[in-house]
Amino acid sequence: MPALPTLALFATATLALLLVPGPAVVYIVTRSVAQGRAAGLVSVLGVHAGSLVHVAAAALGISAVLAASATAFAVVKWLGAAYLVYLGVRKLLSRPAAETPEVRPASRSRLFGEGFVVNVLNPKTAIFFLAFLPQFADPARGPLAPQIVLLGAIWVVLGMASDGTYALASSALAGRLRSSARARRRLDVGSGVVYLGLGAVAALAGEGAKKL
């Protein structure tokens, strides 16, 4: 089991990453703006059902690979850090569209299913479970798979809280979010800065976390 300071560091980094709008947050906000609070919350449930797929894949496969090969760990670590930096630069250089496109209403089952698919295929979630989460699991503290399941459960709980907040806030501010290009640009700049910071954390946290 990871040490408490490691879990605290992991939770802090996880929350920072979750607050950055990625494909899942964009999906949740879009549905919340278009169809209201209930649609947004159903979308959150679908998204984090998709998160469970990433947790299972990490626990069953990644832990074995990383435990067996220090080289594999290093490759995954640096690719993950590079990808986070790339996302940050892209966000900083992006320009928001003048208008938010209209979205057709969908049933709750479709909202759930689309949210599930969005997060299963979400590169932000995938890179987190491939490159970031395993660095907080320590072979010296026991089998890796249960540690990854625990870390994944923390991700899901924090993710439901942060994404649920996005759903509630965006449904309440639907009119402003539809029309404000400036607000979307500020989100992009803030997201870019966070991604760049997390890229640095991904590059350094492997050693730091295991020293705690």
Give the pLDDT score at 36: 85
Contact, 142 vs 1, CB < 8 A? yes
Q: How far apart are CA 75 and CA 43, in angstroms?
A: 34
Q: What is the pTM of this model?
A: 0.68
**What does the pLDDT look like over 60-116, one tens digit per residue?**
776 556 555 666 666 666 766 676 677 668 767 766 555 544 556 778 898 899 889
Q: Euclidean distance between the first and final Cα of the chain, in Å?
A: 13
Share of the chain above pLDDT 90, in %: 15
Give the pLDDT score at 130: 73
**What does the pLDDT look like over 27-55, one tens digit per residue?**
888 788 778 889 989 999 999 999 998 88
